[in-house]
Amino acid sequence: MPHSDHDRNGVGFYKMTEEQFYNSLNLIEEGDYKKLEALRNRFESWSTAWRNLPEKQKQLFNPEEEWEKMAGLSIKLVLRESSAYPPLLKEISHPPFGVYFLGSLPQKEDVILAIVGTRKATSDGRELAKKFASELAQSGVIVISGLALGIDAAAHEGCVQGGRRTVAVLGSGLDYFYPRTNARLAEKILSQKGTIISEYPLGSPPLPYRFLERNRIISGLARGVLVIEAPERSGALVTAGFAVEQNREVFVVPGPATHPNFAGSHKLIRAGAELVTKPGEILETLGLASKTTESRIKAAETVEEKKILEVLKDFSVPVTIDRIIELTDLGASEANQVLTFLIIKNIVKETDGGYTIN
């Protein structure tokens, strides 16, 4: 509705926050980073930029009313200058001037890993994304992805199915979950204390170029990026490219030599990305493997569980049931029962060669 720099009581907008002014400017500029950058370079603050806008533009949006719309949807906004802004994101080229979010933002101490890949994933690829996400999440890693179909959705599902937190970054406003078929998944993410993030204001549609722009945020918030099934032309390759520019780790799961879904993946491996086949290899590169093992041992609920975990910790290869019985002095029946409980709790896994800490 039409308004000036004063509200109905004549108090004015001068007591409003920078966040409120930024949000309205972002709406006017339709989330265009370059236009926002031009304003920020020209004016010392977002409030100053607003006051210097032509009256015709200021008629488009009322900062207070737009802010109330966000509050009604429980959407928060943090600006780049704030101490609450994710520190890793500040390090990247062209970090967002502001980040809108549902839930709570990751903290400085959180270890975040991105999992990305093709929307047209194979069933094996989706299962692999779920498995990696689930096991990494169980080890304390927060998985981030883009809520897209295929690998992205599978990664988020692997986390929420295990009751773990995950982060989704959108290429649209937070009032528009895309694709619509993943709206329920978004709700599950939030129910598990996860987070949904965007640099775009309310009402921003999911335009193709915005998905490419958001990829720098996915990699920017993470310590590394895991690529699962990336064809030769894939948004996942863009995310991996951003990761390299941002000095992040890049991990790739290899696939059949002639499968088109792995053409881009294999190209990344040839370029120097780390080939991985299990979550433990990623944890090792990130320096989390030993911490994870120790935390699992501390989480042991019985003396018998601790005995078995202490044995498995000392071996880099799977340990047979006979060797476990020999080293723990547990009976065969008791050892098997304890191992079964540890497998159910996803602390230990059984392989063809024996048992190992997950």
Q: Residue 245: give its domain's CATH number.
A: 3.40.50.450
Q: Are residues 161 and 118 in the same domain?
A: yes
Same structural domain, 131 and 195: yes
* 123 & 267 share domain: yes
CATH number reported for the structural domain that contains residue 305 in this entry: 1.10.10.10
pLDDT at 4: 43
Are 149 and 250 in the same domain? yes
Q: Is 4 inside a domain boundary?
A: no
Quick one: 280 and 294 in the same domain? no
Boundary-marking domain end, from 252, 285, 318: 285
Average pLDDT, the chain: 91
Note whether 324 and 345 are same-domain residues: yes
Average pLDDT value for residue range 1-27: 68
Predicted confidence band of residue 292 (pLDDT cuts 50, 70, 90): low
Task: Please tell me the total count of domains within the chain.
Answer: 3
Q: Above 70 in pLDDT, residue 33?
A: yes
Residue 85 covered by a domain: no
pLDDT at 1: 38
What letter would DSSP give residue 358?
-
Q: Decide if pLDDT at 270 tops 80.
A: yes
Over the stretch 302-323, which tens digit does the pLDDT of each residue have?
Answer: 899 989 998 888 786 789 999 9
> For the residues 206-219, what does the mean pLDDT come to?
96
One domain for residues 272 and 130: yes
Give the list of residues 6+ apart from residue 211 with CB closer than 8 angstroms, or none. 146, 148, 171, 235
Regarding whether 233 and 304 lie in a shared domain, the answer is no
Once rounded to an integer, what is the mean pLDDT over residues 138-148? 94
Which amino acid, residue 297?
A: I
Residues 280 and 305 in one domain: no
Pairing of strands 166-169, 98-102: unpaired
Rg for the chain, CA atoms, rounded = 24
Backbone φ and ψ of 146, nearest 5°: -110, 10
243, pLDDT greater than 70: yes
pLDDT at 299: 67
**Residue 318: predicted pLDDT:** 87
Residues of the domain holding 64? 12-72
Q: Are both 293 and 279 inside the same structural domain?
A: no
pLDDT tens-digit readout, 84-96: 999 999 999 999 9
pLDDT, tens digit (0-9, with 9 covering 90-100), for 111-139: 999 999 999 999 999 999 999 999 899 88
On the CB side of 145, how many CA atoms lie within 13 Å of its CA? 35
For residues 276 and 297, membership in a common domain is answered with no
Q: Comparing 39-43, 45-49, 99-103, 282-286, which segment has the lowest mean pLDDT? A: 282-286
> Could you tell me if residue 100 is inside a domain?
no
